[in-house]
Structure 1
Amino acid sequence: MSELLAALPLAVDVSAAADTPVNPWAILLGLVLLLANGAFVAAEISLLAARRTRIEEAAEAGDPRAGRALEALTELSVTFSGAQLGITMCSLALGAVAEPAVAALLVRWLGVTALPTGLVPAVALAITLSIVVFLHMVVGEMAPKNLALARAEEVALRLARPFGWFVTALRPLILLLNGLANALVRLVRVQPVDEHKLVHTAEELALALAESQQLGTITVQDAQVLDAALGLARIDAEAAMTPRVDLAALPDTATLPEVLELASETGHTRIPVYHDDIDHVVGLVHVKDVLIREDAELVALTVADLLRPIPAVPESRDLEQLLRDMLDERSHAVLVVDEFGGTAGMLTLEDVVEELVGEIADEFDAEQHARAEDERSWVVPGTMRRDELGRLTGLELDGEAETVSGAVVEQLGRLLEPGDRFTTVDGWELTVLTLEGRRAGEIEVRAPEEVGADGDEAGGADDGH
């Protein structure tokens, strides 16, 4: 716009336009310059907004326009300098060519009106400026910009060739101007870049994923799996493992029939084996190794004879790196060790996969799983993690505890009993239904009917007896 205003010949005697014949070619040329200005604006914005992956897909499919667009994307500094040069040239030419032609037409038209002769030039100039500036803003800038934002890849492909011809024809001048601009940028200690790198953090990808789900470009199930994959690095082994108190393990003196008996009771195929106590796990025994033995071997051998190694990892190991290690080492189970070197629990490949796709239940799985009672009520296992509860119900529990049971214990400040009830400040009500040892077996989570912005329904801790 500044180029256009600078180009308008305001010093010209507009009254002389009355004697100047109307030049329709000048007006036609002005329209062409207006469209060319819009094309440069659209090319610049579309290349900035286009998703490079889609351009690359089109190039791999053999579209020559996409190849030219990729070349422009690899030298963005030169590309945008070329676009700015084109916009400036069109704006200056539009002001120099179209304004006098429109002014001459208006002076002739206003000359036959009732306006005083002395006002005709001033009125003609004001109307001319309004028309040219309006068309330049709307047709030459705003409309192309909005079109390029709405259909970035399509516009970029359509304009790739003609814009490429322009940049090639004026490349020496563009390089000179771009070099001078880069020199000014370096004066403020900023290094210019020639290519826009498509690098995103996990948080940025999660936001893009949420927007894609809202727009319906991916399914809810796919969004959940991808979101879980992005969050693997935020989950440590302690959060996903089977805790020590739930481990089904055997001493290294156990017989093979005892292995089969424990496998039948639990449904587990990989059983940790310890020496003296559970803090000294020496490996694991696979049920398959027992089933292939002859009856005579079942009597003569012990689990110590069939031990497989089990890698040990700290509780703090994140699942993203752990999954990579397990795949590299072809290990289906790892021993999770606490800060004191004792056994904290065991984590299997299935546990990691469940973080991606949710709970995987089979005919041997006796674990409790969350279930919805109605639209405002859920029954969840006490071992459910707080982040899983948040994804299921929307309730975000405070505290340091990993599990829902632990969070309730933190709030009540004592061991749990059936019937214990805790109400959050937001009005959510948690009730202990059953116990498994000293922890909650099942907990009912009930959402408030309506939580006002002023928190009128907020509550506190309640023993519930």
Structure 2
Amino acid sequence: MLEDDRKREVYAFLSEGRPLEYTKLIAVAVLIMVTAFFVAIEFSIVKVRRSRIDQYVAKEIKGAKAAKHVITHLDEYLSACQLGITVTALGLGWLGEPTVQTLLHPLFLKLGLHESLTHFLSLVIAFLLVTYLNVVIGELAPKSFAIQKAESITLMFAKPMIWFYKIMFPFIWVLNQSARLITGMFGLKPASETELAYTEEELRVLLAESYKSGEIKKSELKYMNNIFTFDKRMAKEIMVPRNEMVSLPIDDESVESLQEIIKQTKYTRYPVVKEDKDHVIGVMNIKEVLFSLLSERFSFTKEQLDPFIQPVIHVIETIPIYQLLIKMQKERTHMAILIDEYGGTSGLVTVEDIVEEIVGEIRDEFDADEIPHIRELDKNHYMLNAKVLVSQVNDLLGTDLSDEEVDTIGGWFLTQDIDAAPESVIEYDGYAFKVKDIDSHHILFIEVKKAE
């Protein structure tokens, strides 16, 4: 009976009207929600990408202009958020714990607990309860939500944030100036003046993450990575070397010989040489010749071929390929002759060679028999064209072949064995490099496999 009476007293106490305490509880809940608002805004404006907001502004999305204003004045609005969070925290400290303690204290007394124990328990429980609610509901939950929905929150709450900033401007200005004075002593700039540019490595990481999440395709990732290495490559690394150049010797050969060269090789453009390949006088586009033949404007004689010889540009072989591409676009030519430091011809580069550095190998109907430069025969077993760059081989095999003196794997092999012959083998970094095809001293193919 005594236990039942005790329960009835407690229920009666809880059902008593305590309008002031309940009003304070509502105020505590409001303060926690306001804290959540400022925390969400703070994390969202830091997390959101400016490029996305610029896209929304261009599309005239509602709230985009306000969001643009907020993220371009990051220092001011971060200070506004911090002011809002601090004020609500002070309000919770002043109102939250005493209110909850006031409600709990009579409850513990009704339960028959000692006065000192009642005071201690009500104080501790009130502190823990208010702290828990503020941390979870006011900070952690809105922080996680803001990180995942940064764009939506920024667009939705940018205008209210601007109003709050205008109302509290004097306080925020004082806080900002004080903070800038302190950070300026350490040589730091305001957040709104900090460059938000990404390094090449950061962009690579972002692209890799975008590929993993399905935002971009594998081919797009490959193209972008190729572009990053594009400006580091030199023309001599992608050229057709001198000994592989197919040219039209306009002075010594008969017309039938020229026709046979064109028939066998089926290229569109040919460098035209006089005497030898060190004297390239121009380039001939066979399409122009063909169109003239079809229109019966001339017959295929050496004398009438002269007007079809167009000027060709000569550049040093160490020119970066991005500069060469710009020059070729400016000169409106598809072929460039590379010269070495002594003025001799070292090779040629076409626009197709440059484009292939970005998009990969391009094959037309006449490239059916073309062999890939890197062929995987088995695990850790490859057949390499001798023109493959040493850096590419290092990336493929994880080796550390030196490329200081030479660019290609064929050149590297010759530096290790000047008397290289078919089936010559060099073991290096756990791999066996074997010459599979050689023309005089010109290595054509090298077989690479894991050394036993």
TM-score, normalization: structure 1?
Answer: 0.83
Q: CA RMSD in A?
A: 2.6
Mapping of 1:22-421 within 5 angstroms?
Answer: 23-113=21-111, 115-195=113-193, 197-253=195-251, 254=253, 257-291=256-290, 292-293=292-293, 294=296, 297-301=299-303, 304-365=306-367, 366-369=369-372, 370-389=374-393, 393-400=396-403, 401-410=406-415, 412-421=416-425
1:14 equivalent in structure 2 = none
1:37·1:86 contact (CA, 8 Å) conserved in 2? yes
Q: CA deviation at 1:28?
A: 1.6
Secondary structure, in 3 states, of the residue corresponding to 2:300?
helix
1:167·1:174 contact (CA, 8 Å) conserved in 2? yes
Q: CA deviation at 1:21?
A: 8.4
2:394·2:401 contact (CA, 8 Å) conserved in 1? no
- The separation in 2 between residues aligned to 1:378 and 1:406, in whole angstroms, is 18
Secondary structure, in 3 states, of the residue corresponding to 1:162?
helix
- Aligned AA for 2:359? V
Secondary structure, in 3 states, of the residue corresponding to 1:35?
helix
- The separation in 1 between residues aligned to 2:155 and 2:427, in whole angstroms, is 58
2:443 equivalent in structure 1 = 440
Change (3 A) 1:387 1:153: farther
1:257·1:298 contact (CA, 8 Å) conserved in 2? no
- The separation in 1 between residues aligned to 2:349 and 2:381, in whole angstroms, is 30
Secondary structure, in 3 states, of the residue corresponding to 1:362?
coil
Secondary structure, in 3 states, of the residue corresponding to 1:316?
coil
> Deviations 1:189-240 (Å, cap 9, x if unpaired)?
4343535544223332222112212222111111111111222101111111
2:284·2:309 contact (CA, 8 Å) conserved in 1? yes
> Deviations 1:276-320 (Å, cap 9, x if unpaired)?
332232222221233225585422516554321111222222222
* Count of matched residue positions in the alignment of Structure 1 and Structure 2: 427
2:298·2:304 contact (CA, 8 Å) conserved in 1? no
- The separation in 1 between residues aligned to 2:397 and 2:45, in whole angstroms, is 40
- Aligned AA for 1:406? G
For structure 2, which runs of at least 5 residues remain unmatched after alignment? Answer: 1-17
- The separation in 2 between residues aligned to 1:34 and 1:423, in whole angstroms, is 70
Q: CA deviation at 1:341?
A: 2.2
> Deviations 1:321-348 (Å, cap 9, x if unpaired)?
3222322322211111222222121100
- Aligned AA for 1:317? I
Q: CA deviation at 1:138?
A: 2.4
- The separation in 2 between residues aligned to 1:106 and 1:416, in whole angstroms, is 93
- The separation in 1 between residues aligned to 2:212 and 2:439, in whole angstroms, is 40
- The separation in 1 between residues aligned to 2:400 and 2:243, in whole angstroms, is 24
289-298 vs 74-83, greater mean Cα deviation = 289-298
- Aligned AA for 2:443? A
Secondary structure, in 3 states, of the residue corresponding to 2:115?
coil
1:5 equivalent in structure 2 = none
Secondary structure, in 3 states, of the residue corresponding to 1:278?
strand
1:252·1:302 contact (CA, 8 Å) conserved in 2? no
1:255·1:299 contact (CA, 8 Å) conserved in 2? no
Change (3 A) 1:134 1:81: same
- The separation in 2 between residues aligned to 1:75 and 1:40, in whole angstroms, is 16
1:429·1:445 contact (CA, 8 Å) conserved in 2? yes
372-381 vs 28-37, greater mean Cα deviation = 372-381
Secondary structure, in 3 states, of the residue corresponding to 2:347?
strand
> Deviations 1:17-75 (Å, cap 9, x if unpaired)?
xxx98711212211211121121111111111112222222222221212211111111
> Deviations 1:261-288 (Å, cap 9, x if unpaired)?
2222222222112333322322222212
Change (3 A) 1:42 1:140: same
1:17 equivalent in structure 2 = none
The sequence identity of aligned pairs, in percent, is 31
1:256·1:301 contact (CA, 8 Å) conserved in 2? no
- The separation in 1 between residues aligned to 2:80 and 2:108, in whole angstroms, is 41
- The separation in 1 between residues aligned to 2:302 and 2:54, in whole angstroms, is 64
- Aligned AA for 2:352? E
Q: CA deviation at 1:352?
A: 0.7
- The separation in 2 between residues aligned to 1:266 and 1:210, in whole angstroms, is 41
Change (3 A) 1:72 1:257: farther
> Deviations 1:360-382 (Å, cap 9, x if unpaired)?
12232354313333454332322
Q: CA deviation at 1:413?
A: 2.7
Secondary structure, in 3 states, of the residue corresponding to 1:23?
helix
Q: CA deviation at 1:424?
A: 3.8
1:386·1:397 contact (CA, 8 Å) conserved in 2? no
